[in-house]
Structure 1
Amino acid sequence: MASQNKNIYSVSSLNRAAKSLLETSLGVIWLSGEISNLTIAVSGHWYFTLKDHSAQIKCAMFRGNNSRAGFTPKHGQQVLVRGKLSLYEARGDYQLIVETMAPEGDGLLKQQFEALKCQLAAEGLFSEALKKPLPEIIKRVGVITSSTGAALHDMLSVLQRRDPRLQVIIYPSQVQGKGSALSVASQIALANARNECDVLIVGRGGGSLEDLWCFNEVEVAYAIYHSQLPVISAVGHEIDVTISDFVADLRAATPSAAAELVSQHKTFVSTQLTTLVTRLKQAMLSTLQHKAHRQSVLKQTLLQHDPKHKLQQQTQHLDEISLRLQHAMHQKLQQQQSLTNQLSNRLAQASPAHKIDIERQKQQQLKYRLTQAMLASLNHSEQSLQHQIQQLNAFSPLATLARGYAIVKDEKGKVSTNAAELTVGETVEVTLEKGQFNATVI
């Protein structure tokens, strides 16, 4: 049973093994992408996602490294970062531990140069063992450069002055701008196919890093590497270094220097010595690069066992817990605030003041209804009174008097309605609409 279980991992051991594999497989890498989901923890560490149009990767940049960045990234910003792949064991998250960061465009060409240089060196394109020596006797020289450039004129002048017998075959090529790398690579392939020269000079005059960039392209590097003819790289000035210089069998500081290398002169022995010294320097450089790579691998191995690395893991875990706690506290506060608002609403609904307001509104409504009822009753009474007054007026003796009639009362005060009942000489009281008077019956 023990032998059957020897390949069974625990989750922790699996994550630890995956972490070790990630950190040692690629080493330090450069990565370009867009910043998103940036979080700056209380500890000062940066956690963010780096993405392009179709993929993304989680990243962490610890305070000791981000303090040297010189800027604070923003959401949506395009950046270039340098770091190493790792795995956050607590969650099993694949992530990039960022060591340096710069806005994309600042030194991007240099970073691409270093990345391609490391890639081709790892593939063995710079190996000294594969470099071909120049022929002892050179009769024909192939030149791959611009047919209108100053570099071609300089090389032809040197060759004519030093060794007029040499035949020069020119393979005109575009050496700057879009498509120039494919142009140079195709001319190298053409020269090999024709096999009509003893050595090739590939290069151009000086310029900016961008101007010389086609000699840093992978197409040119592979074309030089696969060339059966010895290739001399002669790009720019002495201080200019390109990928083609490392891949070529020999590097010349300038195009004119390349012409001197392939032409014999009274200083031939000195030239040969210079060539050997150059190759020795390249061998030393290659050895130093190999040692530097080995040192980098050992450094990465040491970092894996460095307590600082584990401390970073613990710090990242602490930051994660801190962020979760802040989120939980925020949710709890929102819940309590919501509960408080509910209780306040219920209290407001149960408050006597609310009921008093309701009763006051009812009282106002009843008062209004009573007022309206009283007004309606008064209007009705007034209308009834007017009607009765009209009826009373219709039967009132005053109304009769107003039409010119009079009321006659005898001495006893009795209203007389029959003249026959009155006696001659009797005094009667006559009432008119306006005023009254006594009269004697005749």
Structure 2
Amino acid sequence: MSTSILSVYSLNQLAKQTLEAQLSGVQVAGEIRSLTRAASGHMYFTLKDDQAEVRCALFRGQAQRIRTVFANGDAVVVLGSVSLYAPRGDYQLIVQGVELAGDGRLAALFEALKKKLLTEGLFDAARKRPLPITPHRIAVISSPVGAAIHDVLSVLARRWPLAEVTLYPVAVQGEAAAGELTAAVSSIRDAMAWDVVLIVRGGGSMSDLWAFNDEALARAIAACPVPVISGVGHEVDFTICDFVADVRAATPTAAAELATPQTLAEWAQRSHLLHQRLNQILSRRLNEAGQHLDRLTGRLRAAAQRFASEHHRRVALELRLQHALRQDGQRRHQALRDLAARLARHSPVRWLRENRGRTDRTVWRLQRVSATMTVARAQRLHLLQYRLHQAGRRPWQRAHDRWQQTGDLLAALSPQRILERGYVLVEHESALLMRAARLDALMAESDRTTLLTLRFADGAKRILARPDGSEEAGES
């Protein structure tokens, strides 16, 4: 027995050095439990299997470099080094890397491939091909044994016995399955002799169905010119093959049903439904057309009413304009007569006539004074007399010019001038008829004929108007 005595701390330190030297860079598989994330960014969890468990620590710096997302219950493979916490004597695994194991790893690979192919457009609905209504040759890629192929062949024979069904036997599980599936799809693509292809397999775990998540198989299906139906697993199972195929079926039996046409009863029911839909569409179209026709008819009637209203309004405006012109002519004629009367009252001739006596007396007085004036005063007197005469003529000349202009304006606005432009005045018993309604009233009051006077620019004519619209001319 060694005589050296170790302290507890020294013992733990020695054990720590031994563990770190002997167990560095080990990989440990297990299930994550009790996962916690500290405020500092460190992560702590327990790695457990059926017989034991070990504490693990993933420090913040290393956690930021790990891209794998994991949670409680995930099966993982942890890369790390074993260390010992000397104060407590507990050993733990210092984690340096984490990878999903089992179905978790497969799920990560599945999502990565799905995202890649989705980005490339292999899942786009635009590239999906329609299924044939009545296929003559059907290719089935599946295992030659098992309940799935038996159910598929039974459904095909029952629903569409006229089709020629060819089985491409392949492995649907294991390492060689993906290659055999890809080779079968490629041979069908090269043959170009099939109307539709079925890829079918029964249910299983993700690892059992992993051959249908192969990238090469997905690209072969996308390049196949023949419509492909994928019926892999159960309704809850999804594979890359389902997303790339033209149609995904929930089960192998459903794939066979999608590939074959309906039975006679189903055809009759579908025909009846189509007939009902056609009748509904025709009825709806007829109703819509009738409503559209009603709207157009209403718009046409409204347009006709607006046109009639505008016509009546235009006629009324023309009558109002004619009446306004006549009234304006009368007002201007009266104004001209008032101006002529005022001009006559203020005429220079009248003023000279009324003041002539005064002027003559002034001249006589000037003549008497001029005899006693010198020659110079006489010349000045003559000059003043000339200026007086000119001053008396200028107001008279200006008044005469204004009178002449007023007379020209009066002549321009004279009713005679309006008649010379082609207008006619209609009179009945010396009363001017300015509205058609008045004439209609006179015609209605008269049993036989009505005497009217038409005044033109060059004279007047009397006519006899009958209620039926005929006229009889008379002498003016």
* TM-score, normalised by the number of residues in structure 2: 0.38
* TM-score, normalised by the number of residues in structure 1: 0.41
